[in-house]
Amino acid sequence: MVRAFVLMSGGLDSALAAKLLLEQEVKVIGVVFTSYFFSPVERSRSLAKELQIPLITVDISEEHLKIVLSPPHGYGKNMNPCIDCHALMLKKAKALMPEYNIDFIATGEVLGERTMSQNLNSLHIVEKEAGLNGMVLRPLSAGLLSPTFAERMEMVDRTKLLSISGKSRKEQLRLASEYGISGYSTPAGGCLLTDPGYSRRLRDLVKHDEACGESVKLLKFGRHFRVNNSKIIIGRNEDENLWMEKFSEDGYTILRVEAYEGPITLVTNPTEQIISNYAVPLTIRYSDAPKDREITVLCGKSGKMTKIKGKSMTYETLGLKPI
Ligand code: SF4
C-alpha cells in the first residue's frame, strides 16, 4: 500500500488533500506542527478523527523561532516568514519519512491562494530548500503543476486530482459539503505572526530584548508599554493575570495594588524610576482603586514584595503609547 504524509494545518485545504488521497486508497498519516506562534493541534486532531487517519504532532518551536528572527526569504505582510516556515515543515516531515515508511509528502497548498507562499516560485523554493524537488504533491492544484514523483510512479492517479487555483474558496467549500468535512478552521487562522498587533510587539521585543520562548509567549497577554529599555505589561483580565503571575518566578518584577482588585503588572529591566513613575501609576489606573488619592502597590520578585505608594495616571498623561 502506498503511504503518504499529509501536512495538516487544521484548515480545510489540508483536510481535502488528505481526503483526495484516501479516495485513491493511499494510506494517509497526518503531520501537524506546533510552535510558539501557532498550534493547530486540536483542530487537526478532530479533522484526523473525521477522516479516520492517524496524526503525528511535531514541535518545531525552537527552530521556528530562529527563522522568525532571521528568515532567509523574508517576511510576508507582518512577521510571518511563510516561505521559510513551509520549508522547515517539509524538512521535518522528510526526516520522518523512513521511520513511518512513507512514499511521498502531500500538502493542502493551492496555487495562487496566498500571495507570498503559494505562487509557483515559492512552491519550488520550499521544495528545493527541503531537499524535496519534484517530490511534494499538492492534490488540490496538481493538474496545474508538473507531475510529481508520486504521479510519475503511478502511486496516485493524476487525472483524479484537482486543478484549483486562486483565492476563491468556492470549490473547496463545495467539496467540504460533498465529503461531509466540517471541523476545520479559517485559512491562516491561528498563526500569531499574521496578526499586525502581535507582529508590532514582536518587532519591539526583537529591537530591545532577547526573544526567547518565554518572552514571545508573553506578547500574547496584556497591554504592553515600552519605556526606554524596560517594558511594562499589564494584565487585562483574570485569566491573563493568573498566567502572568507565574512570570515572577522567571525574574520579572511584578506589581499589584494592595487592597483592591486590579491587574498583575510585569516589568522587564526595571529601574526605581520606571517602577515609581510609570509602572505604579499604570497599575493603579487599571485597578478598581480610587483614582483621586494615594494607593499602596506591592512590588517585587518571587513573593518578596515591598510597598510603594503612588497615584493613578493614564498612559497618555505619561506620554506612552501601547505597543
Ligand atoms: S502563516 Fe504562520 S504558520 Fe502559516 S506558513 Fe506563515 S508563518 Fe507558517
pLDDT digits (tens, 9 = 90+) for 195-252: 999 999 999 999 998 899 989 999 999 999 999 999 999 999 999 999 888 877 677 8
To test the ligand 1 pocket, which listed residue (38, 63, 118, 123) has its Cβ within 8 A of the most ligand atoms? 38
Q: Does pLDDT of 80 surpass 70?
A: yes
**218 CA to middle of ligand 1, Å?**
19
Return the percent helix, strand and coil in the chain, to nearest 5.
40, 20, 40
Q: Does pLDDT of 282 surpass 90?
A: yes
What strands lie across the sheet with 136-137, from one edge to the other? Answer: 55-59, 27-34, 3-8, 104-106, 136-137
Q: Is the Cβ atom of 194 under 6 angstroms away from ligand 1? A: yes
Domain positions in the chain are 3-191, 221-323
Would you place residue 304 in the very low, low, confident or very high pLDDT band (cuts 50, 70, 90)? Answer: confident
Mean pLDDT within 148-170? 97
The region of weakest confidence among 117-126, 144-153, 296-305 is 296-305
Q: Report whether 16 contacts 108 (CB < 8 A).
A: yes
- Closest approach atom of ligand 1 to CA 33: 3
Burial class of residue 118 in the structure, from the number of CB atoms within 10 Å of its CB (0-12 exposed, 13-18 middle, 19+ buried): buried
- For ligand 1, atom 5, which residue shows the shortest CA distance? 82
Mean pLDDT within 183-188? 74
- For ligand 1, atom 2, which residue shows the shortest CA distance? 191
pTM above 0.85, yes or no: yes
**Cα(279)–Cα(273) distance, integer angstroms:** 9
Q: Does pLDDT of 188 surpass 60?
A: no
Would you place residue 319 in the very low, low, confident or very high pLDDT band (cuts 50, 70, 90)? Answer: very high
**Cα(275)–Cα(133) distance, integer angstroms:** 55
Residue 214 or 321, more confident: 321
**191 CA to middle of ligand 1, Å?**
6
Q: Is the Cβ atom of 265 under 6 angstroms away from ligand 1? A: no
Residue 187: what pLDDT?
A: 64
Burial class of residue 157 in the structure, from the number of CB atoms within 10 Å of its CB (0-12 exposed, 13-18 middle, 19+ buried): exposed
> What top-level class would CATH report for the domain 3-191?
alpha beta
- Chain length of the chain: 323
The set of residues, in sequence order, having a beta carbon less than 8 Å from that of 289 and lying 6+ positions away, is 257, 259, 260, 262, 295, 312
Q: How far apart are the first and last CA of the chain?
A: 53
Q: Is the Cβ atom of 198 under 6 angstroms away from ligand 1? A: no
**Cα(279)–Cα(251) distance, integer angstroms:** 16
Residue 114: what pLDDT?
A: 86
Q: Does pLDDT of 184 surpass 70?
A: yes
Mean pLDDT of all residues belonging to the chain? 95
Burial class of residue 48 in the structure, from the number of CB atoms within 10 Å of its CB (0-12 exposed, 13-18 middle, 19+ buried): buried
- Residues 224, 229, 233, CA angle at the centre, nearest 5°? 20
- Closest approach atom of ligand 1 to CA 80: 7
Would you place residue 34 in the very low, low, confident or very high pLDDT band (cuts 50, 70, 90)? Answer: very high
Residue 214: what pLDDT?
A: 87
The proportion of the chain whose per-residue pLDDT surpasses 70, expressed as a percent, equals 98
3-state SS track over 33-64: EECCCCCCHHHHHHHHHHHCCCEEEEECHHHH
Mean pLDDT within 35-55? 96
- Closest approach atom of ligand 1 to CA 86: 5
Residue 189: what pLDDT?
A: 60
Would you place residue 85 in the very low, low, confident or very high pLDDT band (cuts 50, 70, 90)? Answer: very high
Mean pLDDT within 175-197? 88
Cell of 128: 528545493
Q: Is the Cβ atom of 80 under 6 angstroms away from ligand 1? A: yes
CB crowding 181-212: b at 16 or more within 10 Å, else e: bebbbebbebbbbbbeebbbbbeebbeeeebe
Q: Does pLDDT of 55 surpass 90?
A: yes
Q: Is the Cβ atom of 118 under 6 angstroms away from ligand 1? A: no
- For the chain, strand residue ranges (E) read 3-8, 27-34, 55-59, 104-106, 136-137, 223-227, 230-234, 253-257, 265-268, 295-301, 304-310
Mean pLDDT within 73-82? 96
